Amino acid sequence: MQELIPITLFICTAYAIHAIADARARSKLVAPHVPEEVIRSLAVLEEERRRQGALRWGISLVCLALAMALLEAIGARDLTFGAAAAMVGSAGLGQLLAWHFTRPAVRKG
């Protein structure tokens, strides 16, 4: 369980840096010299990015849940290379499916 502490610390640090960078970029956009049309178009793009992110996470988590259910159904209780491969493969499959479903939305924009 102690090996999760550095991983969690890394994830939290990366998220904090991302949040600070986003906040700084947003503060630059709100400057008085930025046209309102630019701000509106960026807000629309941000909303679309959030929706696609939610779709990507949803599809990936469903694929991981299906892999876990399959491992439970076949009675795989220990973490083996096969179980890890099934989990990683299902996460990759979820990302590929999400890419497929979000690709037409990107081309329309």
Across residues 57-85, what is the average pLDDT? 85
pLDDT at 76: 79
Give, in order, the Cα–Cα distances in Å from 50 to each of 44, 55, 57, 86: 10, 9, 10, 28
Distance CA 97, CA 104 (A): 12
Distance CA 56, CA 43 (A): 20
Dig out the tokens for 17 from the structure.
């840096």
Dig out the tokens for 88 from the structure.
């990683």
pLDDT at 12: 93
pLDDT at 20: 92
8-45: pLDDT as tens digits: 899 999 999 988 988 887 777 777 777 878 778 877 88
Q: Going by C-beta distance under 8 Å and a sequence separation of 6 or more, which residues neighbour residue 39?
A: 29, 30
Distance CA 53, CA 98 (A): 9
Q: Is the pLDDT of residue 109 over 70?
A: no
- pTM comes to 0.57
